[in-house]
Chain A
Amino acid sequence: MATMTDPPSEGFRISQLIYDTRYRSITIQVVAFILIMAGLVWLVDNTIHNLSVLGKDFNFGFLGQRSGYDINQRLVEYSNNSTHGRAALVGILNTLLVAVLGCITATVLGVIAGVLRLSNNWVISKLMTVYVEGFRNIPLLLWIIVIFAVMTEGTPQPRDFREGGTASMIAFESVAVSNRGIYIPNIVFTRSLGGNETAEVDGATQVVPAAAPVDWFLVLALIVGGVFVARFIERKATATQEATGVRPPGTFWKKLGVIVLPTLILFVILGATLDVPRIGGFNFTGGIQLRNSLIALWFALSLYTGAFIAEIVRGGILAVSKGQTEAAFALGLRPSRTMNLVILPQAMRVIIPPLISQYLNLTKNSSLAIAVGYMDVRSTLGGITINQTGRELEGMLLLGLFYLVTSLVISGALNLYNNSVKLKER
């Protein structure tokens, strides 16, 4: 083409926008952009027009008004005198609670099921196939309702736990499985840092055990500190082993000790006691109530997402070349160590990216809470608040924004983790 003479320099013609390949793609993009923007403008204009026809304005002032309704499961202080914004916060925390619990159990279940599905044991691998196919191919909503129905219909009512009733508590009279949920003991402190109230019982003044956030914060701090010290001990032991060939005896117990002992001492100082649930009046009092709605939602989400994660894990393991296993066996590693030290770390690189989308699915699927009356953000902000204030558009926008931000944060965090474990090419 070098022999071609320069094209005659003509001026720009309009037809070039369509027929000249240099400009055509730009033309198409500009036209497409204008059409999309026009569509958006029409939609926004339509919304504003319809809102004004309905006589509604667009404002978020309702978030500051008194809500007037009660929520059963609250992770922060809330009453019917709190605002709608506060109710939304309670819902958000409930959503995050079930999402975090669900992600953890789904991962554990999924990894176990995925590994076992590759087992050479015929019964185990077929059992896992049944689990995976059963949960993957039946809608999540059905599982939530099935588990909830089983828990409601199949467990005794609280009043059956009374004297002479048909039901009794398990685990040394400390745990009650009822159709309103599972009541478990709670740890409370008689010398709480948040202060204790006193009460008159049979003429004597008694301290009412309580638990302030600061108490638990201290416990958490000690445990985290203990873990750091334990890692230091571990490193020192490894260094000694590498230098002398002998691992200092009792390393494991030392590590356990630095984590557990300070916590135990703190418990004694604070005067920790167990607050065991007791049947009284209509319900159990004391202890922690894990409501049926939470358990049903948590279980169903974990089992359902776990089945998908199992397949991802299985795929990840199969993606690691069989030569790796054979090489590990040749070095004399036992099958369990081969899996933990050789196969899984390599499989993780394949597993993480699809795992992210499973976590996102689980978080978004938690909005099915409506089926069992779990008070998540869709039920508070997106349900009762919208219904009581008539702010559908604002409420749904906020709800969408919340799920969007949550999903972006989860995928952002896991992408960071993925970057740290993925194959580094140098």
Chain B
Amino acid sequence: MKRSVFLGTLAAAGLVAGVASAQTLADVQARGELNCGTSTGLAGFSFPDANGEWQGFDVAICRAVAAAVLGDATAVSFTPLTTQTRFTALASGEVDVLARNTTWTFSRDVDLQFEFTGVNYYDGQGFMASRELGVSSALELDGATVCIQTGTTTELNLADYFASNNMSYEPVPIETNAEAQQQYLAGACDVYTTDASGLAATRATFEDPSAHVVLPEIISKEPLGPLVRHGDSQWGDVVRWTLNAMIAAEELGITSANVTDMASAAGDNPEINRLLGTEGELGAMLGLENDWAVNVISQVGNYGEVFERFIGESTPIGLARGLNAQWTDGGLLYSPPFR
């Protein structure tokens, strides 16, 4: 009997594993809709707006890919995923692309068999504490109770940071950002740690953001980016070059306002012409329409526009471009040439 139960479990797991197809692009085109995994809610990055439409900096990646592949930025079906469910959902084929502030690490890329298609936000892990606590540095946190989202690199960085500084802490594992916020505000933990962008986004939603302080220490590198399943290079290329198109568009001065103009006829700059499909066949090489990048920029916007709209300094979240400025402005954003 035990044996049959064992086999039954194996069988159920086998069914869940599903069919991971290698023709994601064809599947998405046939379906007419992109399945995209996002977070369960993080202000500025992925959140449902007043009309119930998903919006945000990470969501924009999904919309851009949909615009590139299907010509329609609204043809996306969003699946909100927690930190624990995200990789299983992507590996099993439930979502085609995961755009969910996920850190690019060696083991995720190599061992978990995913392919990161670039970095859409250069981040680092920080700490937020109540101003009342009077803490000015993360090195004063010995003995603190720390809220963390489980199943994240944050969890591992935290363990490493406290161990290397000979400090002790009490972890409070939490499933989603919303729960963490509730626990933190109730005082069930002294400190909340996650990516600095996430801290800024979370703090912006507080009743009194000034009562909380983000500590100066950034204890890790967290390059966040969209990822796809390993083994389907064509689909990986589509997502990678969609992101690159948004970054290159900002560098080349193409915005959602002037893209239709610029795409109507070939201009003086050959790279703009190639990107917008007025010269060459870049779109066809990707297996897309030649005006794929025009759709992305006109419907979603270039990188800078998306940044300003959702998380930039004019928004309540108020993140500066910092590392996420163009390389020409001293940042790390650097798209390979469209050639």
Contact = CB atoms under 8 A, between A and B. Distances in A.
B145 interface: yes
A54 B190 contact: no
Interface stretch (B11-19, B37-45, B205-213, B294-302): B11-19
A51 interface: yes
A280 B230 CA distance: 50
Interface string B122-137: 0000000000110000
B113 A50 contact: no
Interface string A60-96: 0000000011111000000111000000000000000
Contact of B151 (A53, A180, A388): A388
Contact of B150 (A44, A159, A383, A404): A383
Contact of A292 (B88, B113, B141, B188): B188
A400 B13 CA distance: 11
Contacts of B159: 68-70, 80
Given A68-B156, A152-B186, A152-B188, A390 B113 contact: yes
Interface string B281-293: 0000000000000
Nearest to B22: A53
B88 A392 contact: yes
A179 B17 contact: no
Contact of B17 (A280, A373, A393): A393
A123 interface: no
A46 B91 CA distance: 15
Interface string B85-108: 001100100000000000000011
A44 B132 CA distance: 58
A266 B87 CA distance: 55
A375 interface: yes
Contacts of B143: 280-283, 285
A47 interface: yes
B173 A55 contact: no
A116 interface: no
A233 interface: no
Interface in B187-210: 187-190
A53 B20 contact: yes
Nearest to B168: A70
A387 B170 contact: no
A53 B19 CA distance: 9
Contacts of B14: 43-44, 46-47, 50
A232 B175 CA distance: 54
B144 interface: yes
A378 to B, nearest CB: 10
Interface in B162-196: 163, 169-175, 182-183, 186-190
Interface in A229-249: none
Contact of A397 (B10, B84, B88, B169): B10
B178 to A, nearest CB: 13
A152 B183 contact: yes
B17 A281 contact: no
Contacts of B183: 152
A384 interface: yes
B91 A281 contact: no
A80 B163 contact: yes
Interface string A17-55: 000000000000000000000011001101100110111
Contact of A387 (B13, B83, B171, B172): B83
A373 B172 contact: yes
Contacts of A379: 150, 173
A152 B186 CA distance: 7
Contact of B173 (A47, A53, A72, A282): A72
B5 interface: yes
Interface string B1-32: 01001110111011101111000000000000
- The interface size bin for chain B is 35 or more
A56 B188 contact: no
B329 interface: no
Contacts of A214: none
A70 B171 contact: yes
B175 A370 contact: yes
Contacts of A107: none
B155 interface: yes
Interface string A374-396: 01000100011011111011001
Which of A50, A80, A280 has the most C-beta atoms of chain B within 10 angstroms of its own C-beta? A50
A72 B7 CA distance: 35
B142 interface: yes
A397 B158 CA distance: 29
B268 interface: no
A371 B88 CA distance: 19
Interface in A167-209: 179-180
A400 B142 CA distance: 38
B151 A387 contact: yes
B7 A40 contact: yes
B156 A50 contact: no
A283 B111 contact: no
Given A68-B160, A400-B9, A46 B15 contact: yes
Contacts of B17: 46-47, 50-51, 54, 393
A55 B150 contact: no
A397 B122 CA distance: 37
B112 interface: yes
Contacts of A392: 13, 88, 91
B187 A54 contact: no
Contacts of B145: 180, 282-283
Contacts of B172: 72, 373
10 contacts: A46-B15, A54-B113, A54-B231, A80-B160, A282-B143, A371-B175, A373-B150, A384-B150, A387-B84, A401-B9
The 8 closest A-B pairs by CB, nearest first: A47-B14, A387-B151, A157-B187, A43-B11, A80-B159, A390-B112, A50-B17, A282-B144
Interface of B: 2, 5-7, 9-11, 13-15, 17-20, 83-84, 87-88, 91, 107-108, 111-113, 132-133, 141-145, 150-151, 155-156, 158-160, 163, 169-175, 182-183, 186-190, 229-231
Interface of A: 39-40, 43-44, 46-47, 50-51, 53-56, 68-72, 79-81, 152-153, 157-159, 179-180, 280-283, 285, 292, 370-371, 373, 375, 379, 383-384, 386-390, 392-393, 396-397, 400-401, 404
Given A54-B229, A72-B172, A390-B108, 6 more contacts: A55-B113, A79-B163, A180-B188, A384-B173, A390-B111, A400-B9
